[in-house]
Amino acid sequence: MKLFFHKMLSATLATLVLFTTMSFTIDMHYCGDHLVDFSLFDKVKTCGMEKQIPTKDCGNELTEKSCCSELQIVMEGQDDLKFSYDTLNLEQQVFVAAFFYSYINLFEG
């Protein structure tokens, strides 16, 4: 039973570390207030009603605002999981040295 809980806890913690360090982007295309397409990995498909860019540069044409909009949500993962021992203060360094010394001296040579 103890081995089962140990394996479950290990798998849970590994999954937690994986999902907290993973980055992903969610793309959404709205036409008006309606969600047309949603994508995690590819570019979203449009509804075909977005405003076309005119080929002529007349300047006399009235430009209409497009009813379509794109929303992109970016979730950045953690990149600072590596612990640096250079940032330990003096009390922490003394504790680590004393712990290491007392642990090594538990065993007889």
Residue 87 pLDDT:
79
Q: Is the pTM of this model over 0.75?
A: no
Residue 8 pLDDT:
97
Query: Poorest-confidence range of 16-30, 57-71, 86-100?
Result: 57-71
Q: Which SS3 state, helix, strand or coil, does residue 38 take? A: strand
pLDDT in tens, 41-92: 788 887 777 655 555 555 555 556 678 888 898 888 877 766 676 778 889 9
Mean pLDDT taken over the chain:
81
- What is the C-alpha to C-alpha distance for residues 4 and 15, in angstroms, rounded to an integer? 17
- What is the C-alpha to C-alpha distance for residues 96 and 100, in angstroms, rounded to an integer? 6
